[in-house]
Structure 1
Amino acid sequence: MAVLLREAIGERLRRARTDQNRTLREVSRAARVSLGYLSEVERGRKEASSELLASICDALELPLPNLLGNVAADLAVTTGAPVPVQAPAAKVSAYASTGSDAGILLSPALTHRLSVAVTDQNKAIAAA
């Protein structure tokens, strides 16, 4: 049986809340969502919008990217897929001189595309 995304998200939200020894009531008030709806989200019975997830994560002081990364890892383990690896921030891998005051910074991206930032006197323009 396939694991539903809403169930995996709900499980991680509940774990974060219980690890903090907080009640549904406390988190629902902080997130400005009804207690019943938060309970349904935690049990994987309701889909949470991106805005609602952000609000719940704020109430839990849990960065949304951390929640989503943990959920992705949980789903990967459950389905036997490769576990995603959190990449470090992009680093400049090369600097190409253009023969003028401007330069081009090259940086690899996780999308296997080349990210390019064109710099001119401390101003950067990014492109992917």
Structure 2
Amino acid sequence: MTVLLREAIGDRLRHARTNQRRTLRDISRAAKVSLGYLSEVERGQKEASSELLASICEALELPLSELLHKVAADVSALDKVKETLDRPERGAKPVETATAERGFEGGRPVPEVIGNDLADLRLSPPRMSTTLRTTITTPELAAIVAA
């Protein structure tokens, strides 16, 4: 469950862009970087240079220091989760066994996260439910009266 820095940076850049409801094309033009390369940076497939990061952050109107601070907080939170999983409580099953039984792979942000800041990232196992949460009803027909 090691997080690569390029993946954490890419996640934060994509989060900032989508929160602004801007497209990859818009940011790539403003940052003067190819759309394909920007997409690879967001997906964590390419390691962006400091100049490129500065240009993308400027296009997003996001201070580079804020991006780096949030990425550091994300990586730190994931490290704490990893430490917790590596040190099971007395009498607990080994992490590999417990996580395999629960179907836990990676994780996802839990709903307790407040606001848009992923610095408070906490992981929880995926939840599967077999109950139907909505009911299907037939639409009511309304009579239209013409005067």
- Name the TM-score class by shorter chain: 0.5 to 0.7
The alpha carbon displacement at 1:25 in A equals 0.1
After superposition, give the CA deviation of every residue in 1:75-104 in whole Å (9 maximum; x if it has no partner). Answer: 0000118xx9xxxxxxxxxxxxxxxxxxxx
Amino acid at match of 1:75: V
Higher alpha-carbon Rg: 2
Please identify which structure carries the higher helix content: 2
- Name the counterpart of 2:29: 29
Structure 2 runs not aligned, ≥5 long: 82-118, 120-147
Matched residue, 2:128: none
Secondary structure in structure 2 of the residue aligned to 1:70: helix
CA RMSD of aligned residues (A): 1.4
Higher relative contact order (CA 8 A, sep 6+): 2
Q: Give the TM-score, by structure 1 length.
A: 0.62
What residue number does 2:60 align with?
Answer: 60
* Partner-residue secondary structure (3-state), 2:38: helix
Higher percent of residues as strand? 1
Structure 1 regions of 5+ residues with no counterpart?
A: 85-128
1:7 is matched with 7
State the identity %: 73
CA distance in 2, matches of 1:2, 1:22: 30
User: Where does structure 1 differ by over 6 angstroms across 4 or more consecutive aligned residues?
Assistant: none
